[in-house]
Amino acid sequence: MQNSFEIIISKLFKLSFAKDQRGVLFVLRGALPFIFMGKKQERILPFSVLERLLQQAGAERVSKGALRELAVQLEQIAKRVGSLAVKIAMHAKRKTVQGSDVLLASELT
């Protein structure tokens, strides 16, 4: 569903829109895609922690773009592992996800 911004822009400039899984809005104009950020997403992982991780891995300097992309990738991995850990706990007829569930889920993904 298009919001009012998308409707106005599409009527004024006869553009088509597409969104990716992160909510980034792509405006297609001929062969040149223009990228507008969609809704402001709530970050789960703070940039300071991610920057520290990259510096511990050997990076001297880290860009904001690298931090954003690392946050997205780590959150996707955490959601996959967490989802599988919940399924493992449910299979064991438990409501509480335990450390062993997370460990098994991370080994399976």
Q: State pLDDT tens for residues 68-98.
A: 888 888 888 999 999 999 999 999 999 999 9
The pLDDT value given to residue 2: 53
Contact 67, 45 (CB under 8 A): no
- How confident is the model over 15-43, as pLDDT tens digits? 555 666 666 555 555 434 444 445 556 77
pTM exceeds 0.75, yes or no? no
Superfamily for domain range 47-108: Histone, subunit A (1.10.20.10)
What does the domain layout of the chain look like in residue ranges?
Answer: 4-36, 47-108
How many CA atoms within 13 Å lie on the side-chain side of 83?
7
